[in-house]
Amino acid sequence: MPNATVLVVDDEALIRWSLTERLKSDGYNVLEADTGKAALERLADGVDLVLLDYRLPDTDGVTILRTIKELDQDILVILLTAYASVDTAVEAMKLGAYHFANKPFNLDEVSALVERALETTRLRREVRQFRTSAARPYSLQHIVGASPAVTELRHLVARVAVSPSSTVLLTGESGTGKDLVAKIIHYTSDRAARPFMNITCSALPEQLLESELFGHERGAFTDARLQKKGLLETADGGTVFLDEIGEMTPGLQAKLLRFLEEKSFKRVGGSTDIRVDARVIAATNRNLEEEVARSQFRSDLYYRLNVLPIAMPSLRAHPEDIPLLVEYFIDGFNTEFRKRVLGATPAAYRALQQYGWPGNVRELRNLIERSMLLSDHDRLDAKDFPVMAGAQTVSDEIALPANGIDLETLERSLVVQALRRCGGNQTRAGALLGLNRDQIRYRIEKFALTPAQ
Ligand SMILES: Nc1ncnc2c1ncn2[C@@H]1O[C@H](COP(=O)(O)OP(=O)(O)OP(=O)(O)O)[C@@H](O)[C@H]1O
Ligand SMILES: [Mg+2]
């Protein structure tokens, strides 16, 4: 790890000097401290690894080790000691020391140990990143749907991903896939190997959100014991996803705008400009244009964010994708729950297409998950969807009255009812009856129905 910072803690100047010289020539930034107190103070400058003498004038190495690990688990500590007892070694390891080096030590050995320790962290970080991306692979085919609306969405996402620095604004109701699309954009762009950082702007009070985003210097406010990098800095080379951007306070809106314009910012309490190359994807389920008109959202920030707008369709706008989505979720939950559900019954599909889906695809997904957990059928049935109990469903078989029935009249009546319920929308009326557009149009003509009916 070039650029890593190593802190050398020893009260003997000669030892400090020899270690420092060697580590500097190995290419690290090196800080020094001669007491435990000084060591803890230096941590604030951002340290990756500490070479820690066990015997210190003001305290012992194990106490410092414990404090370091309390402050930041990720800082590596190698304990140097001339007096290693097995007990100390065991205790130090338990507390999270990376290694022990016995004094007098050989500089080559210490140098190799430091290199290996830092390499381990690098690998650990890489594995962590790889695991998250391997466990959740995000590619275009994870946007499921064959309707024109979803096909267009997939094309748009693909185009946005290859323009890897422009700001993206995702708008749409809750549950329409904004999170999903943000991740797909990141993981199919050139930035995929770099971090994807995600923050919900409504989840934190203004000050906290500010320091999460921009980081802070030590002492910037009461709890700022150490310097901390913000999400923008951590995401360098990658993507920052700002969810619920509509909730951001005016003060932060101004700071974000400055970052978008200048690509640089200052940490809270800091004076140096930090340049960062992070793509910003923002999302909201509010109507930002209205917020701008009501002066709730800065218009300049809105235009800056809206470089590449993506409007997510509500599920009501593409009910024809419901069967595909249902199959996709059934497949996923079959694997997850070790089940073998084959699909859903025609009555179930009709019920699903009839429903209004205020919670969009998320609600559909949750519904399939719940019904798969609760039912043992090969095929999910309308009866398995308790939330839709309000929605009337008809069983596959309608009992034929004893004196028979006029099928044409019944058919006409059902078509008329479906059209009425859907405000004359032929596609949706057709979906209620399990008919495609051509089939419902044919019947509308056959029965000479006018749209008003
Ligand atoms: N077209 C789609 N194909 C497959 N899965 C989808 C699709 N759209 C949404 N989903 C799934 O639906 C769920 C909800 O989506 P997501 O969390 O991205 O919604 P959101 O728009 O971010 O909602 P909110 O505004 O509430 O945060 C997720 O499990 C997501 O994977
Ligand atoms: Mg979301």
Residue nearest to atom 8 of ligand 1 (CA): 177
Which ligand gives the minimal distance to the CA of 198? 2
Residue at token pair 């001339």: 82
Residue 363 Cα to ligand 2 midpoint, Å, equals 13
pLDDT tens-digit map of 107-123: 999 999 999 888 877 77
Residue nearest to atom 16 of ligand 1 (CA): 177
pLDDT at site 3: 75
pLDDT tens-digit map of 44-67: 888 999 999 988 899 888 899 999
Mean pLDDT of 382-387: 78
Tokens of 200: 């919900």
Residue nearest to atom 18 of ligand 1 (CA): 177
- Does residue 377 surpass a pLDDT of 80? yes
Could you give the strand order of the β-sheet that contains 308-311, starting from the edge strand earlier in sequence? 196-200, 239-243, 279-284, 168-171, 308-311
Residue 201 Cα to ligand 2 midpoint, Å, equals 11
CA 191 – CA 282 distance, rounded (Å) = 17
pLDDT tens-digit map of 307-349: 999 999 999 999 999 999 999 999 999 988 889 999 999 889 9
Ligand 1 probe mutation, 244, 287, 361, most atoms within 8 A of CB? 361
Which ligand gives the minimal distance to the CA of 143? 1
Amino acid present at 238 = G
Residue (of 314, 325, 320) closest to 430 by Cα position: 320
Residue 285 Cα to ligand 1 midpoint, Å, equals 12
CA 257 – CA 263 distance, rounded (Å) = 10
| Phi-psi map region of 177: left, alpha, beta (phi>0 left; psi -120 to 50 alpha) | left
Which ligand gives the minimal distance to the CA of 181? 1
CA 215 – CA 329 distance, rounded (Å) = 39
Least reliable range by pLDDT among 65-74, 203-212, 340-349, 366-375? 65-74
Residue at token pair 């690990």: 69
Residue (of 286, 260, 264) closest to 275 by Cα position: 264
**Sign of the torsion angle spanned by Cα atoms 147, 153, 155, 158:** negative
Residue 244 Cα to ligand 2 midpoint, Å, equals 8
- Does residue 393 surpass a pLDDT of 50? no
- Does residue 432 surpass a pLDDT of 60? yes
Mean pLDDT of 217-223: 82
Residue nearest to atom 15 of ligand 1 (CA): 177
Contacts of the segment 394-400: beta carbons below 8 A, 24+ positions apart: 394/347, 394/350, 395/347, 396/345, 396/346, 396/347
Atom of ligand 1 nearest to the CA of 176: 21
CA 59 – CA 127 distance, rounded (Å) = 36
Ligand 1, residues at Cβ distance < 6 Å: 142-145, 150, 172, 174-180, 285, 361-362, 365
Ligand 1 probe mutation, 180, 183, 199, 363, most atoms within 8 A of CB? 180
The answer to whether residues 341 and 384 touch, using CB atoms and an 8 Å cutoff, is no
DSSP secondary structure string for all residues of 225-236 = -S-B--HHHHTT
Tokens of 112: 């190799």
Cis amide bond preceding 104, omega within 30:
yes
CA 150 – CA 218 distance, rounded (Å) = 48
Which has more pLDDT, 104 or 396?
A: 104
Residue 160 Cα to ligand 2 midpoint, Å, equals 19
**58 — phi, psi (to 5°)?**
-100, -15
Residue 179 Cα to ligand 1 midpoint, Å, equals 6
pTM of the entire predicted model: 0.63
The answer to whether residues 326 and 349 touch, using CB atoms and an 8 Å cutoff, is yes
